[in-house]
Chain A
Amino acid sequence: SQQGEEDPQALSIQEGENATMNCSYKTSINNLQWYRQNSGRGLVHLILIRSNEREKHSGRLRVTLDTSKKSSSLLITASRAADTASYFCATDAYSGAGSYQLTFGKGTKLSVIP
């Protein structure tokens, strides 16, 4: 299975601190994406990093990708209570059925305490 593994499974921090979540995967990928999901809601796409990129920034988000270690990290700087959510990494790879598909990791549940 391509499913990624995130760690930690749960993370609790104080508002203003940085939050780092890690993701590891098993096979070659086309790109890796991070999503946020508030409880009971749909997914929000945060950032996509291609397999030939090593780092990408978007606002308070910083994503790194190390294809040699098959791992990625998501850093949220200066966290806010509104960042409380579950965060998932998803690897994009050729499915062998004629298309690419996203496979999701198990997620990290982030709680930011005001």
Chain B
Amino acid sequence: GAVVSQHPSWVICKSGTSVKIECRSLDFQATTMFWYRQFPKQSLMLMATSNEGSKATYEQGVEKDKFLINHASLTLSTLTVTSAHPEDSSFYICSARTGTASYEQYFGPGTRLTVT
């Protein structure tokens, strides 16, 4: 099956620094990628949707200047958490689809971010 990888799997950073998380589709081309955030004991909340080569569409309440998403190629999307604060500590999960109408959505293993 299709595989989505994320790097790093966990990261600890100091408040005020920026952190970049990479999401790669390993054996398929991802025309659409999604970023989710999950707080402890809660569900996944969609942060943004991005199509290759175009700007990401952010969900209501998600600061686009704080969570920078770049979908530079059909196999790579990055999420940069800028000027991170402790409240940004969360589990970030990326996901990818092979086409806009595809039923199949594949998930990465997640990245645990801890901001101290």
Contacts and interface: CB of A to CB of B under 8 A. Distances in A.
B32 A42 contact: no
Interface in A36-89: 40-43, 45, 48, 50, 88
A104 B43 contact: yes
A102 B34 contact: yes
A2 to B, nearest CB: 10
Interface residues of B, number: 26
Interface in B19-57: 32, 34, 36, 41-46, 49, 51, 57
Contacts of B91: 40
30 contacts: A3-B43, A33-B105, A42-B93, A42-B108, A42-B109, A42-B110, A45-B107, A48-B103, A88-B43, A88-B44, A92-B105, A95-B49, A97-B49, A97-B57, A99-B49, A99-B51, A99-B97, A100-B102, A101-B34, A101-B49, A102-B34, A102-B95, A102-B105, A103-B46, A104-B45, A105-B43, A106-B42, A106-B43, A107-B42, A109-B41
A56 B49 CA distance: 29
Given A30-B103, A42-B110, A104 B44 contact: yes
Contacts of A33: 105
B69 to A, nearest CB: 13
